[in-house]
Structure 1
Amino acid sequence: MLAYHADLENVEVKIRLGVLIACLFASSSVLSPSATAVSTNPSQVCVGNSCSVTFPFSGDYYQWSAPVTGTYTFQVWGAQGGNAGYNGTSLSAGALGGFASGQKVLTVGDTVYIYVGGQGEGQASTSFSDFLAGGFNGGGIGQNGKTGTANNRAAGGGGATDIRLVGNALSNRVIVAGGGGGGAIFQGYGINYPGVGGGIAGGNGGTANYPAPSEYSGFGGTQSAGGAGGRNGAQALAGSLGSGGRGSNDNSDYGSSGGGGGYWGGGGAGWGMGSGGGSGYVGGVLSSTLTAGNATMPNPSGGTMTGRTGSGIAKISYSLPATNLSIAISGGATTTNKGSVTQIIATTDGAGFITFYVGTKKIAGCIRMFSNIGTRTCSWKSTYQG
């Protein structure tokens, strides 16, 4: 007697052929459209019909294709500014990255560009007067002072994390999480407080003795302009579209840090002062959230946190359309003879990959068979009698 059941989250059909139970199984992560992105892209993770892809920092951008038509949720976390320090020891922490989220309707095949910000360079440095690279995707350049090992140190700004549609120019950004300003240390000015990543605006930099806002420190980027650079000593550079400003660059005794990248970047720091954070942006998405790096935000690993430490990260979530799978045996057979070939027919209403099983064993030649809407047939040579 032929009997079967189906579960839409984990589509499973059992067919009884006499004493034989043939279990054909296709998990939701297999029976689903596959991304056609470049080979370095992370894989989707699905629980039922809910899927997500997490993009860690890579030092380059991702190019990813929307696997289905529907509403996508974008979540992006900006990078922390570099930690100022010496030979691996952190002496002054970089400001934390911000967070942004929003939704966008995409059509299957749409190309999505994901830029994940990197943390600025800093504490690994051992030389003097060296330039300190800003993090990938807009972190501003810092520069150490020319003397001392535990003083006069600086760091590069953190890079922004953003998502772009239609093209990969800055003008194609639809959502941005700002990067934090790089840390710095000059003991005569007190504890250094670089500006956090945005938020509507990046945080302003300052120090304990010269608190923000201060003309000596970098200002945060806004929705329409980069943050001004600090003027202590040589004038630091202002932030620009997408990039943090460079810290004061004149080979002085003071370290000066770079501003954070963002929609508009934060200003670089004057001598020994704080750099500004980059702003966030959600103008190209709906149901948006924009959170500064000093506020509570979702943790990409679950729960919540205050600001993003280290490099940035991005996450894209979406739902797969309900996919029905039915199984039939050619000719309606209810028994099988050992050595005979049985045609097992799977019918789906969505494109994807189907793997056929007998019991818990995959059927050779019937693994990850692509199926468009319609049917796919697996030929199984029976090892059972009855």
Structure 2
Amino acid sequence: MNSWKLKDSSKGHEGLVSDDNFQNSVIFHYPCSSNYDCTYYHSELPPGIYKFEVWGADGGDGMYHSTYTKRPGKGGYSVGAFFINKTTNVYVFVGGKGENGLHPSTRDAKGGYNGGGDAPSDKVGSNNDSGGAGGGATDIRIGDVDLDSRVIVAGGAGGTGFDTSYVNIEITPFGGGLTSSLPRSSGGTGVAASQTTGYQKGNGQKGIIGSLGTTTSGGGGGGYFGGNAIAESYGGQAGGGSSYIDGVFSYGDIVKNATNGESEMPLLNGVGKGNS
């Protein structure tokens, strides 16, 4: 196992395990007790061809009349090979799950580490209709820690909101895919995060207070581009963040791919949807 360390060891502990099915493999677990205040792994890797697999984090669940919508979005999955031709600094950012809407809603729900958008508190009325926060993206960066050094990204899911249950939105705010989920509300849909657009590179949008002032929307998921939030009279569910695989390639039985959180994908404990 390579000598991986956390950038800020005061925030967590290395959650590293090896996979007995693969030589020289490392599985990175989320290292922090806080879903939003975390840090990244770093190491130097020697020359070679590496398989990268990343899973984005789930979004938070929003409230509808004091009850959770129970339709949280799942993070996406990306895979591909990468060639390192000389000893190189490598950085692994593992996304944190978006916080569920709070009841009572005394503060903002916190977006997951690595780009998840917060969901604002519901400060009007009975304080029980706040959105869920967006999940963070998981990505690998080569050579530097800036966003432009990402070679593979799995988008985090958006948070649900009041409208998820109010208008019975059946499509979850999944993260991942080259184009992620649309923000959805009682008034229609917004713009999905993709390879060229979204709220911001890396970051999902903070949720929006509905025009009636009584509910708040979910926060956007982190991603290559973060997801957008949406609200009409009430708070909608946000879009997930997009994935990115242009920095990796297919090699042998490794086929580069970006799968959204609504789809079947390989998991560490089998096959399923999302990263759980």
TM range (shorter): 0.7 to 0.9
TM-score (norm 2): 0.82
Q: Distance in 1 between matches of 2:207 and 2:19?
A: 44
TM-score (norm 1): 0.60
Q: Distance in 2 between matches of 1:268 and 1:105?
A: 37
- Corresponding position: 1:57 with 2:35: no
- Corresponding position: 1:112 with 2:90: yes
The residue type equivalent to 1:248 in the other structure is I
- Corresponding position: 1:273 with 2:236: yes
State how many pairs are aligned: 253
Shift in Å at residue 143 of structure 1?
Answer: 1.8
The residue type equivalent to 2:25 in the other structure is S
- 1:196-222: per-residue Cα shift (whole Å, max 9, x none)? 112011111325x65xxx24xx43211
Equivalence for 1:373:
none
Shift in Å at residue 110 of structure 1?
Answer: 1.9
The 1:246–1:72 alpha-carbon spacing in structure 2 relative to 1, beyond 3 Å, is same
The residue type equivalent to 2:266 in the other structure is P
Q: Distance in 2 between matches of 1:181 and 1:240?
A: 14
Q: Distance in 2 between matches of 1:291 and 1:48?
A: 23
- 1:177-196: per-residue Cα shift (whole Å, max 9, x none)? 00111011245433474421
Shift in Å at residue 141 of structure 1?
Answer: 1.5
Is the 8 Å Cα contact of residues 136 and 155 (structure 2) preserved in structure 1? yes
Shift in Å at residue 48 of structure 1?
Answer: 8.1
Equivalence for 1:253:
214
Q: Distance in 2 between matches of 1:48 and 1:95?
A: 30
Is the 8 Å Cα contact of residues 157 and 240 (structure 2) preserved in structure 1? yes
The 1:43–1:261 alpha-carbon spacing in structure 2 relative to 1, beyond 3 Å, is closer
- Corresponding position: 1:165 with 2:142: yes
Higher strand fraction: Structure 1 or Structure 2? 1
Q: Distance in 2 between matches of 1:272 and 1:43?
A: 39
Shift in Å at residue 54 of structure 1?
Answer: 0.9
Report which of the two structures shows the higher radius of gyration computed on alpha carbons.
1
Q: Distance in 1 between matches of 2:72 and 2:19?
A: 35
Equivalence for 1:340:
none
Equivalence for 2:9:
none
The 1:49–1:61 alpha-carbon spacing in structure 2 relative to 1, beyond 3 Å, is closer
Is the 8 Å Cα contact of residues 174 and 285 (structure 1) preserved in structure 2? yes
Equivalence for 2:253:
none
Match runs of 1:82-93 below 5 Å: 82-85=60-63, 90-93=68-71
The residue type equivalent to 2:103 in the other structure is T
The residue type equivalent to 1:50 in the other structure is Q
Q: Distance in 1 between matches of 2:152 and 2:162?
A: 32
Shift in Å at residue 35 of structure 1?
Answer: 2.3
Is the 8 Å Cα contact of residues 259 and 267 (structure 1) preserved in structure 2? yes
Shift in Å at residue 275 of structure 1?
Answer: 0.7
Q: Distance in 1 between matches of 2:195 and 2:91?
A: 21
The residue type equivalent to 1:205 in the other structure is P
- Corresponding position: 1:304 with 2:271: yes
Is the 8 Å Cα contact of residues 61 and 132 (structure 2) preserved in structure 1? yes
- Corresponding position: 1:283 with 2:256: no
Q: Distance in 2 between matches of 1:199 and 1:42?
A: 26
Q: Distance in 1 between matches of 2:260 and 2:60?
A: 17
Partner SS state of residue 132, structure 1? coil
Instruction: Work out which of the residue numbers 74, 92, 96 in structure 2 matches 1:96.
Output: 74
Shift in Å at residue 266 of structure 1?
Answer: 0.8
Q: Distance in 2 between matches of 1:89 and 1:182?
A: 15
Equivalence for 1:198:
176
Shift in Å at residue 162 of structure 1?
Answer: 0.3
Q: Which runs of 4+ in 1 moved over 6 A?
A: none
The 1:148–1:299 alpha-carbon spacing in structure 2 relative to 1, beyond 3 Å, is same
Quote the sequence identity (%): 33
Q: Distance in 2 between matches of 1:292 and 1:44?
A: 25
Equivalence for 2:50:
72
Equivalence for 2:192:
220
The 1:224–1:49 alpha-carbon spacing in structure 2 relative to 1, beyond 3 Å, is closer
Structure 1 unmatched ranges of 5 or more: 1-33, 227-238, 310-386
Equivalence for 1:38:
5
Q: Distance in 1 between matches of 2:126 and 2:63?
A: 11
The 1:254–1:160 alpha-carbon spacing in structure 2 relative to 1, beyond 3 Å, is same
The 1:48–1:295 alpha-carbon spacing in structure 2 relative to 1, beyond 3 Å, is closer
Partner SS state of residue 171, structure 1? helix
